Amino acid sequence: MIRLLFLTAGLVVLGGLLWHIGLLRIWETVERVGLVAFCMMLVPFLVVYLLDTYGWSLTLGQWASRVGFVRLFMVRMAGEAINATTPTAMLGGEPMKAYLLTRYEVPMVEGLASVVTAKTIMTLAQILYMVLGVGATLWLVGGTEYNVLVAFVSVGLLAFGVFLFLVVQRYGLGRGVLTVADACGIRSQRLEAYRPRLLELDRTIRTFYGQRRRTFIMSMGVHFTAWLTELCEVYAILYFLGAEVGWLSSLSIAAMTALIKGSVSFVPGGVGVQEGGYLVFLVALGYGEVTGITFAVIRRIREILWILVGLLSLALLRDKAGQQS
């Protein structure tokens, strides 16, 4: 119910922004870009998704070859589509990824452990990326005390969240679930049946961090490269919109929009709030309102297209599983 209220508020905000700036002015700008240029804007994010899939395959280890890169890419896209379309705060698709991997004889424990470690590594890489973005932003707009405080508090909160998640992983995700259940007096035959698997999940995750440090570093590098590739999309969008753009400003915009997107995950899809954040930030960097909202609209269209690819991947994976059974 609360998320529905946030979604309604977001739609109202988005409608207000579009009305204020003018649908005709926005459409004229989008039309001026053209289909070919729009397709070129999609290429950088395809590279991002491919790199993220490869980074995930490294944490999956020997099981990755059994699945195959194309199917692993489809599994990832399916999971991300669920993250983006369901009210699960970007986490609903992660268990689905592990479940889909079992269709290719990957043990549930191994699949879930790879999902957890890959998500953690991706977020750690994102923090490094955002630190660079904060530095670029402060260089462009000036390092006032307020700007520095807001920027580093935002990144610091994300880093603190990841630190807590790492602490939980060290203690044991499965062990934590069992401890909470025992403390609350929850007794379930199903939970008891899953107890060995939950404890095995903890051991698998700890083994990865303790014995596969080289893989950890390689995966971190791949995910960091994927984050950096996002600035190519930003550069392409602003370039084809006819705005002045440089690589430093593209880094700033890409990193800060990623921070904005993560900060509004409580709103389904970040509808309205995400566009408003993009608009405010681009205007603060000196871009016009039309450029700012058109940038946001184009990124939203891109997001919807990739969600459709993910939902199609999910349908194909389920259909194939049904034929095999």
- Its domain, for residue 110, covers 2-324
Q: pLDDT at position 124, please?
A: 87
Answer whether residue 237 shows pLDDT above 90.
no
pLDDT band, residue 182 (cuts 50/70/90): low
For the ranges 150-154, 164-168, 206-210, which has the lowest average pLDDT? 150-154
Q: pLDDT at position 59, please?
A: 94
Q: pLDDT at position 139, please?
A: 79
For the ranges 59-63, 98-102, 166-170, 253-257, which has the lowest average pLDDT? 166-170
Q: pLDDT at position 144, please?
A: 54
More confident residue, 232 or 193: 232
Number of domains comprising the chain: 1
Q: Tens digits of per-residue pLDDT, 120-147?
A: 899 889 888 888 888 887 777 765 555 5
Q: pLDDT at position 127, please?
A: 85
Answer whether residue 51 shows pLDDT above 50.
yes
Question: Which backbone phi and psi does 61 adopt, to 5 degrees?
Answer: 65, -135
Answer whether residue 276 shows pLDDT above 90.
no
pLDDT band, residue 292 (cuts 50/70/90): confident
More confident residue, 108 or 151: 108
Mean pLDDT of 102-108: 89
Answer whether residue 196 shows pLDDT above 50.
yes
